[in-house]
Amino acid sequence: TAILVLNGPNLGRLGSREPEVYGSQSLADIGAGLAASVPEGVEIDLRQTDDEAELIGWIHEAVDRRLPVVLNPAAFTHYSYALRDAAAQLRTAGVPLVEVHLSNPHTRETFRHTSVISGVATGVIAGFGADSYRLAVDWILRHQ
Ligand code: DQA
């Protein structure tokens, strides 16, 4: 079984991007930590893009393959209705979607307080740094 761990814009810059907010681990580090934490036979398919269309295509793939998704939509969280409409199809298909954030957006600028994704997510985990991803994957594994 595979879990798609999808990451939106600027998350490929983790490690050097605002480390005081996002920590010092790169996305590859986070992916390696996840891969090491799951039981054998579980594949962590970690991807990142700065491109909204590509991210939407990956959500469509998850719907069609019925693969659970951990999604850090990054800034798309706050304004991409197109990504939300894609994610709504996971909900219709009964495929779990866990929205994750490294930081807790509610402690930050006002524009980060709105998520257009949360309303179609199974649940949201935010504020625990790289552990946000771990918690999301743990939940998916316990509900498969
Ligand atoms: C983020 C929070 C978003 O507001 C921001 O645009 C990001 C990262 C997080 O993981 O904390 O790029 O999703």
Q: What is the average pLDDT across 10-35?
A: 94
What's the CA gap between 75 and 96, in Å, rounded? 21
Q: What is the ipTM of this complex?
A: 0.99
Task: Please give the residue range of the domain that contains residue 51.
Answer: 2-142
Is the distance from the beta carbon of residue 118 to the nearest atom of ligand 1 less than 6 Å? no
Residue of 60, 101, 106, 133 marked active site: 101
What's the CA gap between 107 and 45, in Å, rounded? 30
Under 8 Å between Cβ of 50 and 30: no
Q: Quick one: DSSP state of residue 37?
A: H
Is 78 annotated as contributing to ligand binding? yes
What's the CA gap between 22 and 128, in Å, rounded? 10
Count up the domains in the chain and report the number: 1
Catalytic residue flag (residue 22): yes
Q: 3-class DSSP state for residue 96?
A: coil
Pick from 20, 21, 77 the residue to mutate for probing ligand 1's pocket: most ligand atoms within 8 Å of its CB.
77
Residue-wise pLDDT for 80-137, tens only, equals 999 999 999 999 999 999 999 999 999 999 999 999 999 999 999 999 999 999 999 9
What's the CA gap between 124 and 83, in Å, rounded? 16
Where residue 49 sits, what CATH number does that domain have?
A: 3.40.50.9100
User: Which residues, in sequence order, are CB contacts of 35 under 8 Å at separation 6+?
Assistant: 44
Residue-wise pLDDT for 32-83, tens only, equals 999 999 999 999 999 999 999 999 999 999 999 999 999 999 999 999 999 9
